[in-house]
Amino acid sequence: MVCSKCGSTNDNNAKFCINCGTQLVTGEVPITKNEVFMGENQQKNDFKFSKELKESAKESIKKTIVPTVTKALSGVVASAITKAFGSKK
């Protein structure tokens, strides 16, 4: 299947374009590269997609990686404090 946005050839069962990430519409007659319009708007769309992808990646990092690293560091600090000032028995 050919992506209607960028013209890349994808597997017929692909749900998203391997090149630009556009959702591929299934159930329609596949189009050929010669039928795809590649005008000035393509660069604008690519920039918009790239910007959206970058923002999505930032949000993903904020929601998953940052809390995970914070918890890990908290554990290391707590362990170091316990070893240094542990309870005396």
Specify the number of domains making up the chain.
1
Confirm whether 22 is domain-assigned. Answer: no
- Its pTM stands at 0.33
* C-beta separation of 3 from 10 below 8 A: yes
pLDDT in the model for residue 13: 85
Q: Strand, coil or helix: what is 54?
A: helix
Look at the alpha carbons of 8, 11, 15, 16 in this order and tell me if their dihedral is positive or negative: negative
**Residue 48 lies inside a defined structural domain of this protein:** yes
Task: Give the whole-angstrom CA distance, residue 53 versus residue 16.
Answer: 14
Task: Determine the structural domain holding residue 76 and report its residue range.
Answer: 39-85
47 lies in some domain: yes
Report d(CA 28, CA 4) in Å as an integer: 12
7: confidence class by pLDDT, cuts 50, 70, 90: confident
Residue 2, classed as helix, strand or coil, is strand
Residue 33 has pLDDT above 70, yes or no: no
Asked if the structure places residue 2 within a domain, the reply is no
6 falls within a domain: no
